Structure 1
Amino acid sequence: MHRPAVHRRDPRLEILTEGIEDVIPGATPAYLTVTVTETFPGAPGPDGGPRTNTWTGTPEGLAQRQFTRLYGRPRTGEPRSPLAQAEDAKRARDILGEVGALMSAGAALESAPWYPCRPGDIVHLHYEAVGDVPLIPARGETYIVGDAGDGLMSLRLLASSAPPTGETGDGEAGCFASEAADCPVYEMWFEAGPHRLTIVRDGRPVHIGGAR
């Protein structure tokens, strides 16, 4: 099953940006610019044509201006999941950045002192609130690692504070559950990000993501 990427970036800003990029169907976002021109009738410019006043920028730059008018300045400087970092680099046509984000995340996972997971480990996943009201409140999911046999491990959802409809903004609750995997937290680590995870082993936390 395809699992949606988990972003800390405000989804409203992404929607505005994508809406501008879609004005030219099939265009490559990295190649797009937006130009807004004000033309003054009856007032010739230096070249003899109509006098104009022009703003040029990127689709995201325009989206940020719209977003700020509607909701205030977007949040910046927050941690991003490895997959989100790789997707940002891909959009910027930065192949080294894309590969580097994924490789660094894999190395961080495999070099963690608690790696690999063990049956009985408890994994907590935190989702931040979406919007300022908020539109979707902060919530969490709790999983347990089990023995799936043949050296594989499972990941089973124990509890969720998501709305009962499952409309969480990041996919339905329990979307990271797995019946058998070499590393049951692999997808969660890359898609949600290590900063959102807390892992408890034998009653003691061995990984605390987003610790202040």
Structure 2
Amino acid sequence: MAPARRIDPRLRIMTETLEGLIPGATPASISVAVTEPLAGPGHHSNSWTGSPAGLAEKLFTALYGRPAAGEPLSTLAQAEDAKRARDIVGEVAALQRGHTDLTTAPWYPARPGDLVHVHYEAGGLSEAFGETYLITAGADSFLSMQLLCHTLPETEDPEGMVGCFTVDDDPDPLMELWFEAGPHRLTIVRDGRPVHWGGA
């Protein structure tokens, strides 16, 4: 199954702003009505009715053009989107799907010597950069994942982002990275050959 895709953040903000006009309302139940009263007998009017998302898309298209599909969502982001929508079934399904996608991959589980590269798009805190981790044998028969190198200048890492997926003695060192960054950002190399190419 293809991963869910992230909508443009400007479109999401417009939609959430419109949904927030009625505090505490269930977003799926809200509709927006635009009415033009017409002069003359009978009190006629022209009107448009639609969802907040529909109105947000019309506004977004007028300002910026048709919204792009955007990049795929990580498993954690899919679960968080479902949680915000109060969709517990969708939240659990996203987490289960992420776990299944990892554990049924033909190259799974990770092995000592695997290289794991994660690519981060440019964002509010930094330019685009990458990190490369090495899977090694841990001290207690599990696996560790050590940061080998990264491309982010030290001056651009005030939050200590670099190396945040380093783990020691973990039964599944890829799980957190797979869920949080997302498989679409990962490239995994085994014995000099890519076994998972998330950017493909």
The one-letter code of the counterpart of 2:102 is L
The one of 159, 175, 191 aligned to 2:149 = 159
Change (3 A) 1:94 1:123: same
Query: Normalising by the residue count of structure 1, what TM-score does the alignment of the two structures yield?
Result: 0.71
Structure 2, unpaired ranges of 5+ = none
1:143 match: 133
Tell whether 2:189 aligns with 1:200.
yes
CA RMSD of aligned residues (A): 3.4
Query: Normalising by the residue count of structure 2, what TM-score does the alignment of the two structures yield?
Result: 0.74
2:92 match: 99
Which structure is richer in relative contact order (CA contacts within 8 A, separation 6 or more)?
1
Give me the identity figure in percent: 58
Tell whether 2:171 aligns with 1:182.
yes
CA distance in 2, matches of 1:167, 1:62: 39
1:68 match: 61
Structure 1, unpaired ranges of 5+ = 1-6, 131-135
CA distance in 2, matches of 1:88, 1:187: 18
Question: Is the CA contact 1:124–1:197 (under 8 Å) kept in the aligned structure 2?
Answer: yes
Matches within 5 A, 1:28-39: 28-39=26-37
Q: The residue matched to 1:149 in structure 2 has which SS?
A: coil
Question: Is the CA contact 2:15–2:53 (under 8 Å) kept in the aligned structure 1?
Answer: yes
2:21 match: 23
2:107 match: 114
CA distance in 2, matches of 1:36, 1:172: 46
Residue-pair matches, total = 195
2:120 match: 127
Question: Is the CA contact 2:15–2:52 (under 8 Å) kept in the aligned structure 1?
Answer: yes
